Structure 1
Amino acid sequence: MTHRPPLAIIYEHPDWFKLLFAALDRRNVAYQPIQFQDHHFDPENAEAPAPLVLSRLAMSSFLRQDEHPIFYAQSLYASWELSGARVINGTQALAIDASKARQMALIQSLGLDIPATRVVHRQADIIAAAKTLRFPVIVKVNIGGSGAGVSFYETLEELTQAVANGSTPKSIDSVLLVQEYVPARGQQVVRMETLNGNFLYAISLNTDGGTFDLCPADVCLIDKPRITVREYKPDQDAIRAAEAIARAAKLDIGGIEFMIDDRDGARRFYDINGLSNFVADPLNVLGWDPHEKLVDYLIQAIEKIREKAA
């Protein structure tokens, strides 16, 4: 058996994890960075690159490459887990992260509010589904990222024309969500970050409504000047809800997003995101760097694995 570091980090985006790598280097944590590009595995020799693997797979990877690793990762992580490795945000979390339909079902099962939603797998069924909802509606791809694959329709006639001319969104897994458009109170959405099933911090993202792309990381905000990011102090009900969602989703690290429906004041949860790039400019927005908390968590996980192996 070749010598392995205690930690491997597998990722797709070339720039998003420099701050994490820098934090690990400062703390002298040995790790192996692995990019999905050029990666392959042998199911007959499925030893993981490390006993602990951190998944940093972005659902938006399909926007950057046609041969994206989203479905590949499902098989890869299963293979590593079967070999005895622990994968942070592994197969169970990935199954939720890669399906907005499953996210809606999970959130609703916890007794929490979601946008009124219909799920279809054929373009031809969009109209029938939409007729059971209040307009305006959005059509959303099941696997998306950075706001991709979300279209807004004010009327049934507008949606019918879009279906007829083939301009409605197309999901890479052929599953679509038709949802009532939720007018967010104050044009504000909230993203609550969790770590190990516990609340970490929250931010509010305010937009003029001109985009569904509300990624709060540095590389995401470069071309989105209409979005402002601030720290948000959620109430205990919101914290308990986010923690319940994260634990039910087997999400080791990730974000839970909600908005307040301006029509009735309901807190509607609409997204579970397994990739936390963390907020841009955290020292100014939060007063502390969440990467340090993540490194603490990784060090503790490494120590637990070592104790179990001893």
Structure 2
Amino acid sequence: MSKIYIIHENSEWTVHLTRRLEELGLPYEEWHLDEGLVDLTEAPPEGVFYSRMSASSHTRGHRFAPEFTDSVLAWLEQHGRTVFNGSRALRLEVSKVNQYTALTKAGIRTPKTIAAAGAENIIKAAEKIGTASFITKHNRAGKGLGVQLFHSIEGLKQYVYGPDFDEPVDGITLIQEYIKAPEPYITRCEFVGGKFVYAVKVDTSEGFELCPADACQIGDLFCPVGEEVEEKPKFQIIDGFDEPIIEKYEAFLKENNITVAGIEFIRSEEGDIYTYDINTNTNYNSDAEKAAGKYGMLELAKFLGAQVKTLETV
């Protein structure tokens, strides 16, 4: 009998999926690829393979997990195995530069962004971007790594040349124009099987804590909190969300062989949508899902189960 193989490096994020697989009685096996071996002279087992490798693995002591996963995915794909979120998805997961170039190619608008390596070039990039306010972020990110909001070049210099500078794991810092929204929130669209499942409204009034599974607090030194707001859920699934951008996102995922993803966008004061992040290792907020009666991991487990059944039929 074929299995579902889950490739990952963080059991805390994966247990929500394995619980759903167990509920549905589906056979599975976890491949925790923080280390291991791959024998290129042997064929991989039959089954359905789903990668949840994360760009932020290095923050959990798994520095080379993405690189090793890339080798395993190449081996699986060489042998024609059914792989979801394979090597192309991983390439986008670990590089926002790759994300933005792919999104732009697909006709999806992104914030103006400059990639820089080296302290002096980070400053030059900020001077070149030409906006009063701008954001820094890591090229290989996840969990909001390196995200800081600045309102001056001088503030950036103090950060870059100071003791608190957060060096990106790949040495690449992005300088990005700051998109001011009329209301303090962003929208995250979730996809399973390449198809839209639901959209989540994420409150950003207290900073850029945008990951539904592992919030990433950004200190208020560079990012003002703003006025007090009435207490409300940080994550809310939007009822009846139907935006034209969804069609573009689904076409983009298909073009780039991405099966499961969370895509985030912000709407400017002028009403323009800017897409700024693709999470191929997407997570879901349990409170928001319970309130809406929609469950991403359940949909994912059903999808993987259907793929196993199809494989066995073939």
Q: Post-superposition shift, 1:50?
A: 4.0
- Deviation of 1:53 after TM superposition, in Å, equals 0.9
| 8 Å Cα contact 1:253/1:274 also seen in 2 | yes
Measure the CA separation in 2 of the matches of 1:294 and 1:89.
12
Which of the residues 36, 52, 55 maps onto 2:51? 55
Aligned residues with identical type, % of pairs: 27
Q: How does 1:279-298 map to 2 (within 5 A)?
A: 279-281=285-287, 283-298=289-304
- 2:283 is equivalent to residue 277 of structure 1: yes
> What does residue 157 of structure 1 align with?
154
Q: 1:71 aligns with which of 64, 67, 72?
A: 67
Per the alignment, do residues 67 and 49 of structure 1 end up closer, same or farther by CA in structure 2, a change over 3 Å counting? Answer: farther
Supply the AA of the counterpart residue of 2:167.
K
Structure 2 gaps, min length 5: 219-230
8 Å contact 1:137–1:154 — kept in the other structure? yes
Contact 2:3 2:28 in 1 (8 A): yes
Q: How many residues align?
A: 300
- Superposed counterparts of 1:147-226, under 5 Å: 147-165=144-162, 167-210=164-207, 212-217=208-213, 220=214
2:224 equivalent in structure 1: none
Which runs of structure 2 are paired with 1:69-148 in the superposition (5 Å)?
69-133=65-129, 134-148=131-145
Unaligned runs of 5+ in 1: none
Letter in 1 for 2:108: L
CA distance in 2, matches of 1:152, 1:49: 47
Distance in structure 2 (CA, Å) of the matches to 1:292 and 1:271:
23
Q: Does 1:6 align with 2:3?
A: yes
State the partner residue of 1:254.
261
Alignment root-mean-square deviation, CA: 2.4
Structure 2 CA distance for aligned equivalents of residues 173 and 226 of structure 1: 37
Deviations 1:221-258 (A, max 9, x none): 59899971101243331221321332233211011100
* TM-score, with length taken from structure 2: 0.87
2:305 alignment counterpart:
299
3-state SS of the aligned residue for 1:251?
A: coil
* Structure-2 separation of matches of 1:283 and 1:256: 17
The alignment partner of 2:55 has SS state of coil
* Alpha-carbon distance, 1:7 to partner: 1.6
Please tell me whether the aligned partners of residues 255 and 273 of structure 1 are also in contact (alpha carbons under 8 angstroms): yes
Contact 2:210 2:216 in 1 (8 A): no
Counterpart-to-counterpart distance in 1, 2:104 and 2:216:
34
- Contact 2:2/2:312 (8 A) holds in 1: no
